[in-house]
Amino acid sequence: MRKLYRSESGASAVEFALLLPVLMMILFGIIEFGFALYQQAILTNASREGARLGIVQAIPAITTGQINATIDNYLTAAGITPGDVSRTIVAGSVTGAPVRVTLTLPYQFNVLPGFSSITPLINLRAATEMRHE
């Protein structure tokens, strides 16, 4: 009778059941962070491409519309809808003037939708400034 009371045969299953939700939250948190980091990298590269086009010496001068088109092409190729990205472009056409491209993308949690009540949106922001040559 004493052996039945001291049996620990199901203890590991109970411990696993208690720790599984914590481990799953950590795993899905890592995946969610990876998605957000990927979109941040795409946003940074798109702003860099727009600023790089803006500093090029060209006749006629590069317009804000051409910079917007370059950014839209880059975002579309990466799988981000260009309409979701708000942008501010300050293009100086004078040599030595800075060209600033700022992009902002609202990021919503996809893998852990339960966290959306804690932080509904995170604004990913990328800014690039280059000097017009």
pLDDT of residue 96: 79
- The length of the chain in residues reads 133
Structure tokens given for 19: 């720790």
Q: Which of 28-32, 79-83, 90-94, 108-112 has the highest mean pLDDT?
A: 79-83
What percent of the chain has a predicted confidence (pLDDT) above 90?
46
Structure tokens given for 89: 């472009």
Least confident of 15-24, 69-78, 83-92, 109-118: 109-118
Mean pLDDT of the chain: 85
Structure confidence by residue, pLDDT tens digits, 91-106: 877 777 889 999 999 9
pLDDT of residue 113: 62
Do residues 130 and 98 lie in contact, with contact meaning Cβ atoms separated by under 8 Å? Answer: yes
Instruction: Enumerate the β-bridge partners of residue 122.
Output: 107
Residues 22-44 have a mean pLDDT of: 91
Strand (E) or helix (H) holding 48: helix 11-54
Quick check: 116 pLDDT over 70? no
What distance in Å separates the CA atoms of residue 31 and residue 10, rounded to the nearest whole number?
A: 31
Burial 38-48 (b: 16+ CB within 10 A, else e): ebbebbbebbb
pLDDT of residue 18: 92
Structure tokens given for 68: 């917007």
